[in-house]
């Protein structure tokens, strides 16, 4: 068992699976065994680059998955089970944290925080009230989580109007970079 623990901390998913399979600690599903044998066949044969590119999608996925460090699986399980200091917008309702860093960007179609901050000064267009409220509500939730320190990082360039709103709300405690 100590060997398995060591493998989990320092090896890849593929190496951990191989150990479990070779030591008959559990049986793999037949579909996975078939994909693994296809992958092994391709790796053992002297194939051209073109032939290697013809691997099935599933075999390519299996190969990529086998190369991932098993420590990433451990970290993912810890995150899913709430055993990390990190949270996303969907998991913070009612929670408080001493220090909070909120990263705002344009990666979401449903939220535009720069626009929301601009509209706070210039007025909300009638046809954009729901978009404004969505962004404002999430902004409020994120800003109301810290007990001590709050840092807001905007990965998008903010207009002068948006910066004015932030300076008003945060009493001039805004640093531009």
Alpha carbon distance 31, 56 (integer Å): 13
**pLDDT confidence bin for 171, thresholds 50/70/90:** confident
Alpha carbon distance 148, 78 (integer Å): 25
Contact status, residue 147 vs residue 95, Cβ threshold 8 Å: no
Q: What does the pLDDT look like over 116-169, one tens digit per residue? A: 999 998 999 999 999 999 999 999 988 988 889 999 999 989 999 999 999 999
Angle value at C-alpha 126, between 120 and 129, nearest 5 degrees: 60
**pLDDT confidence bin for 91, thresholds 50/70/90:** low
Q: What does the pLDDT look like over 8-18, one tens digit per residue? A: 999 999 999 88
Mean predicted confidence (pLDDT) in 100-115: 88
Residue 32, pLDDT score: 81
Alpha carbon distance 173, 18 (integer Å): 55
pTM of the model: 0.54
Of residues 153 and 35, the one with the higher pLDDT is 153
Alpha carbon distance 141, 126 (integer Å): 24
Burial class from Cβ neighbours inside 10 Å (0-12, 13-18, 19+) for residue 80 reads exposed
Residue 137, pLDDT score: 92
Residue 60, pLDDT score: 81
Q: Where are the domains of the chain?
A: 2-80, 89-169
């Amino acid at each position: 068992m100590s060997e398995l623990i060591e493998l989990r901390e320092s090896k890849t998913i593929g190496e951990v699976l191989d150990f479990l399979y070779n030591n008959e600690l559990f049986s793999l599903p037949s579909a996975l065994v078939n994909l693994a044998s296809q992958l092994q066949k391709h790796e053992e044969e002297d194939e051209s680059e073109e032939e290697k590119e013809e691997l099935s999608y599933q075999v390519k996925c299996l190969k990529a998955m086998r190369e991932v460090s098993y420590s990433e699986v451990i970290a993912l399980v810890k995150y899913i089970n709430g055993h990390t200091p990190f949270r996303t917008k969907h998991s913070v309702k009612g929670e408080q944290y001493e220090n909070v860093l909120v990263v705002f960007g344009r990666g979401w179609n449903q939220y535009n925080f720069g626009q929301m901050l601009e509209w706070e000064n210039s007025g909300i267009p009638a046809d954009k009230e729901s978009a404004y409220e969505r962004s404002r509500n999430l902004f409020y939730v994120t800003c109301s989580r810290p007990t001590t320190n709050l840092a807001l990082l905007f990965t998008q360039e903010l207009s002068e109007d948006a910066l004015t709103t932030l300076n008003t709300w945060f009493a001039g405690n805004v640093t531009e970079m």
